[in-house]
Structure 1
């Protein structure tokens, strides 16, 4: 049996070498910070789901492609890992906490971006579309009682796995009134009374995730419909923010996607590369980075009018570090790594 073990070892080594050849880009460097991140007036983060830019055609996503052409866009940005939930947790806390599960019954501890904000008296709000009420603790809404928590009910619109704020008990109880439905933000934008930091999670139709196959609203096996619905959501949400009294000073909107979509029908080297490519903060398996794949990062910064299409090697930890830097907060988790640089070039006002 020794020969069999040797054959397996050789196969594993060859497979890892092949993976490294395909997915690790040579010469990746950390961008040098040429200027400090401007102090933010307001930050809006909109988290979408499961798409690379090349999976969203201009026909189904005209508004997204308009944003890419007009504002900041990072062509070298990645999700941290797979599946969805760890990416949300990573962006909020600087760590995946070693989970690769979408189970919404998981809980996590430790510092988060918003616990830092609480300590430094910076106001924040987590906005969840289709959340039935502030501080709702259910895994889904509408929720099917007694079902496996990982399995999405057929008509669910809200999923706790896309709401990392309710996965940290230290936040979920004392700050539950700061986790609110989208209608609350709509009212605040009209009045101009908006927290300093706002995280927005669209519902399961509008974030491009989709409901189970067979649902009437947005089944996950209709990707063109999902992309169009997400595009329509952004085409309403982004102008609403930018035309509100809150859009002043150094305000910024970051739009990104949690992870790349898993290859399905067309499986080739390009699709696997898109799905597994990694940024600087990706976890490693046998020393090889395994990331969440190539996803868009769109940066709309008030005062930065010229489009900036940059190739900054980055992932969700870079975005976290950028937000912390703009609010003068200490870096937590992997955001503290020297490999992870702030996204400063997108934020310097035009001269």
Structure 2
């Protein structure tokens, strides 16, 4: 896999979803994959949340979030076809009452990224939104973001489908305030984890995220692409989060969510968690203000040591 490139993110202005509209044109891939992920100075007009300070959680250097598809927690936790996932569960925090917020896929990805389903109740494409999101909040805090999607044809690609890539699983492309350079193919995921942005989302393709493929295929993909990072993170002030967008539509939308890495207290966590609370956790450990419904969610403090 190639090294990551720069992931400077522009700060967004508050707003509401607009009607479906063509997304901005794709940007060409940068000439070199050796560039660092340094943030630029906050953009004029940034409008971070004015939410009061939240309870202290560890400040992490890197968090990688992987979103899998369409399986209830009981389908993967304890499943012998998922040895890597269950290894993570043994060494990290298992959020035993974790729930998605909607059906189908797309509104759940929007919730994880922007703190809102944006009124979306389908997988229609393309969509464009003007509101705040995780990337703009990180940008306002001087931190960085990138999303890495398997089978994305090129950096900044805005098409709805390409092979097993689906834009409905890539919410950052729906926000023009997030620059094309933050929208990267999985081939640009850095071989050196220290070059990752502060927060990175990883989205496998439809064959590997358990949407079309099996639990065993998805588990093997995770082990191959994130196994090294999972070993690296605990000793480098970093963390890996693995979650699912939604369940199989038959288990109250309960999904598996695992957190592994530095400062994480291993074992089950029984507090109720949804995608908004997970987004709030990502903002907190990155030192950014949570956006949307994440701003009103209780900080996820029980999974951390000390």
- Mark yes or no: TM-score above 0.5: yes
Give secondary structure in 1 for the equivalent of 2:254: coil
- Checking the alignment, whether the CA contact within 8 Å between 1:241 and 1:247 is kept in structure 2 is no
Give secondary structure in 1 for the equivalent of 2:66: strand
**2:289 is equivalent to residue 302 of structure 1:** no
Structure 1 residue 310: deviation in Å?
1.2
Within 5 Å, give how 1:81-160 maps onto structure 2: 81-141=102-162, 156-160=163-167
Distance 2:207 2:298 in 1: 33
- Checking the alignment, whether the CA contact within 8 Å between 1:301 and 1:347 is kept in structure 2 is no
2:226 to 238, 258, 261: 238
**2:169 is equivalent to residue 162 of structure 1:** yes
**2:243 is equivalent to residue 256 of structure 1:** yes
**2:286 is equivalent to residue 333 of structure 1:** no
Structure 1 residue 163: deviation in Å?
0.3
Structure 1 residue 119: deviation in Å?
1.9
Task: String of CA shifts for 1:185-232, please: whole Å, max 9, x gaps.
Answer: 14343xx3221111100111111111xxxxxxx4xxxxxxx2111110
1:343 to 275, 287, 300: 300
Within 5 Å, give how 1:168-317 maps onto structure 2: 168-171=175-178, 175-189=179-193, 192-210=194-212, 218=213, 226-244=214-232, 248-262=235-249, 271=250, 274=251, 277=252, 293-304=253-264, 307-317=266-276
Distance 1:104 1:200 in 2: 20
How many pairs were matched up? Answer: 253
Task: String of CA shifts for 1:40-87, please: whole Å, max 9, x gaps.
Answer: 111111111111121236232122222222311011010011110001
Structure 1 residue 38: deviation in Å?
0.9
The structure-2 alpha-carbon separation of the partners of 1:188 and 1:178, relative to structure 1 and needing over 3 Å to count, comes to farther
TM-align CA RMSD: 2.0
TM-score, normalised on structure 1?
0.68
- Checking the alignment, whether the CA contact within 8 Å between 1:124 and 1:198 is kept in structure 2 is yes
Distance 1:204 1:84 in 2: 12
The structure-2 alpha-carbon separation of the partners of 1:249 and 1:35, relative to structure 1 and needing over 3 Å to count, comes to farther
Which structure: larger Rg?
1
Distance 1:117 1:160 in 2: 22
Show structure 2 runs of 5+ residues with no match. 1-53
TM-score, normalised on structure 2?
0.77
1:76 to 89, 97, 102: 97
Give secondary structure in 1 for the equivalent of 2:177: helix
- Checking the alignment, whether the CA contact within 8 Å between 2:199 and 2:286 is kept in structure 1 is no
- Checking the alignment, whether the CA contact within 8 Å between 2:115 and 2:294 is kept in structure 1 is yes
- Checking the alignment, whether the CA contact within 8 Å between 1:86 and 1:96 is kept in structure 2 is yes
**2:71 is equivalent to residue 51 of structure 1:** yes
